[in-house]
Amino acid sequence: MCTNGVNTGQFNMMLEQMDDQLAVNRRWVHKLAHTAGDAGFSQTDEALHKVQELLDDARALISDAKDALEKDAEEGSGVTVSLV
């Protein structure tokens, strides 16, 4: 469905892809943090855990953006194009 010239279904799918990518990055940062911690690199471990928290925040914001997209599409100009 298109709203105001934006294919909202495709846009939503791209947001989901970004969330998937952030999830993969978070998983790797988590593994690296534990590897650093196990090796006694406490500062590196701490920094990577902070990165992990930021990635969690980014994923939450992506979720917020998906919700906002849905609301914005509903409140659009009233012009909608659907494939029949």
* pLDDT on residue 49: 97
Percent residues over pLDDT 70 in the chain: 87
Q: State the average pLDDT over residues 29-36.
A: 98
Q: What is the end-to-end Cα distance of the chain in Å, rounded?
A: 11
Q: What residues contact residue 18 under an 8 Å CB cut-off, 6+ apart?
A: 62
* pLDDT on residue 78: 62
Mean pLDDT for the chain overall: 90
User: Is residue 16 pLDDT above 90, yes or no?
Assistant: yes
42-74 helix and 8-38 helix, angle to the nearest 10 degrees: 170
User: Is residue 80 pLDDT above 60, yes or no?
Assistant: no
- What are 26's two structure tokens? 């978070």
- What are 30's two structure tokens? 């988590």
Dihedral of CA atoms 28, 24, 70, 76 in degrees, nearest 10, equals 90
